[in-house]
Amino acid sequence: MKPRNRKIIMSLIAIVVLAPALLIGAAQLGALSGSQPGDLGVKAGRLKSPSSTPNSVSSQAALWPDTPQARYAEIEPLRYPGDGRVAMRKLAAILPAMERTVLVTDEPAYLYAQSTTKLMRFTDDVEFYLDEGAGVIQVRSASRIGHGDRGVNRARVESIRALFNASVAVAPQALSSGSPAN
């Protein structure tokens, strides 16, 4: 093999080996965490709209029919029996107990948490809003960066739902009926 070809091949091998290592290293240092959106929270009874790419879920997706990924983002709100404020306290206790999740805002009717993925350290924003008029807790979970999330936000919300339902002892018929348990 000619020395020039050998040098090219060795350079390509170095790139193939080093590029993923550099990417993972940058991710571990927080380079892929993205910036916290400035428009989170509840405005006129609504959480922020679903993302325009398939990397979020929202129980209020139907309120944003013009959002390109509204149907993809649809997820059920959390249902609770009894006092909504008590349900929010139980939810507030669940969030920081979840791996790589930090509760950032803890208000009586609104919770905001940040969850970080294990390997690449992507940060996702997770919000909960006590919608007492509807008798539910609205939820939105969205990735800050990237086109897709491989179902991570939906899986996270369903995991939170399972823990929450166990903590408030929601009756199975209440879950399927679409109304809060009495």
pLDDT of residue 16: 76
- Section 87-112 average pLDDT: 97
pLDDT digits (tens, 9 = 90+) for 118-166: 766 789 999 999 999 999 999 999 999 877 778 899 999 999 999 999 9
pLDDT tens digits for 108-118? 999 999 999 87
| Segment 4-13 mean pLDDT | 80
32-177 is a CATH 3.30.310 domain: yes
The residue ranking higher by pLDDT, 3 or 68, is 68
Please say if the pLDDT value at position 68 is more than 60.
Answer: yes
Predicted model pTM: 0.76
pLDDT of residue 9: 82
DSSP one-letter string for the chain: --HHHHHHHHHHHHHHHHHHHHHHHHHHTTTTS-PPPTT-S-BTTBPPPPPSSS-EEETTGGG-TTSTTHHHHB-PPEE-SS-HHHHHHHHHHHGGGSTTEEEEEEETTEEEEEEE-TTT--EEEEEEEEETTTTEEEEEEEESSSS--TTHHHHHHHHHHHHHHHHHT--HHHHHHTS---
Percent of the chain having pLDDT more than 70?
82
70, pLDDT greater than 50: yes
pLDDT confidence tier of residue 173, bands split at 50, 70 and 90: very low
